[in-house]
Amino acid sequence: MEINLFKLCSGLRVLGYFMILLVAGIIGISYYAVVFLTCGPQLLRGGFHSFLSFAIVIIFHVLLILLLWSYFRVVFKDPGSVPENWRAVSAEENLGVGSSLAAVDDGFERRSRGGYCIHCQNGKPPRCHHCSVCQRCVLKMDHHCVWVVNCVGARNYKFFLLFLLYTFLETTMDTVVLLPSFINFFADAKNHSSTPSNLALVFLAFVLNLAFALSLLCFLVMHASLLSSNTTSVEVHEKKGTVRWKYDLGRKMNFEQVFGTKKSLWFFPLFSQDDLHNIPALGGLDFPTRSDVEA
């Protein structure tokens, strides 16, 4: 009996739903430990510590809102699907028959060459890859993330990066806030100054937040490097064999290919209509390339 490994991979989607519950649980534990057990008593005492705790609670909630907003945008936003019967277009057809490959867009050419997916039996745009978990081709696929039960691709990569950023900031702040309680954990347990359940929650929240903050820092550094060179996780191997990466347009343009040009929306999981209309890369089907690199 033949076993279809690609079908087995689709079972990972079930794991993703447990990950969503895990995220909700971690947020719940952290919220209770930081807001109610740590900052709450300080707010009741008054004075400078009360003011500091109030500021922490405000920042905590702002980061939490931005974190959840970005998270749900990654979960529910389609990363980009290939239109039915899409076909690859040559550079000559794209720029016009008989025209030279003249550089456009400040010295960069716009090409729409692609390939063919044997699994989907459909055309495959450039930078598009087939996801074994989702069982479909994803535009400018970066990776399939079990934490969001979705692929990260052209149309939700910005939301994913913001989710990483705000989660890192939130967990780092939680770790700093809970550090004194963690240091005094054994003394509080010996003196019975708090209930065992509250002590256990504070201890667990500190360990979880510290672990996530450290791991997210590594992910942020990695994706910052990928963003600066306009590379996806699945393109890293392909890029190693090249002298110049054809999609590397310079740090400023690389950043705008993901976050758009409207600065007021850079830190929000949103795009302006102008950017969606004027930056084809955000759609995932067409990407400008360096004019000094062969396609």
Coil, strand, or helix at residue 217? helix
The answer to whether 79 and 56 have CB atoms below 8 angstroms apart is no
CA dist., res. 177 & res. 171, Å (int): 10
The answer to whether 216 and 236 have CB atoms below 8 angstroms apart is no
CA dist., res. 22 & res. 112, Å (int): 40
User: What is the rounded (10 degree) CA torsion for 15, 16, 17, 19?
Assistant: 100
CA dist., res. 171 & res. 166, Å (int): 8
CA dist., res. 63 & res. 221, Å (int): 20
DSSP state of 81: B
**Residue 131 known to be catalytic:** no
What one-character-per-residue DSSP string does 255-283 give? HHHHH-S-GGGTTTT---HHHHHH-GGGT
What one-character-per-residue DSSP string does 63-97 give? HHHHHHHHHHHHHHS---BPPTT-----HHHHH-T
Q: Report the relative pairing of strands 115-117 and 122-124 from DSSP bridges.
A: antiparallel
- The amino acid that residue 258 corresponds to is V
The active-site residue, picked from 137, 145, 151, 218, is 145
CA dist., res. 108 & res. 290, Å (int): 5
Active site positions, annotated: 145
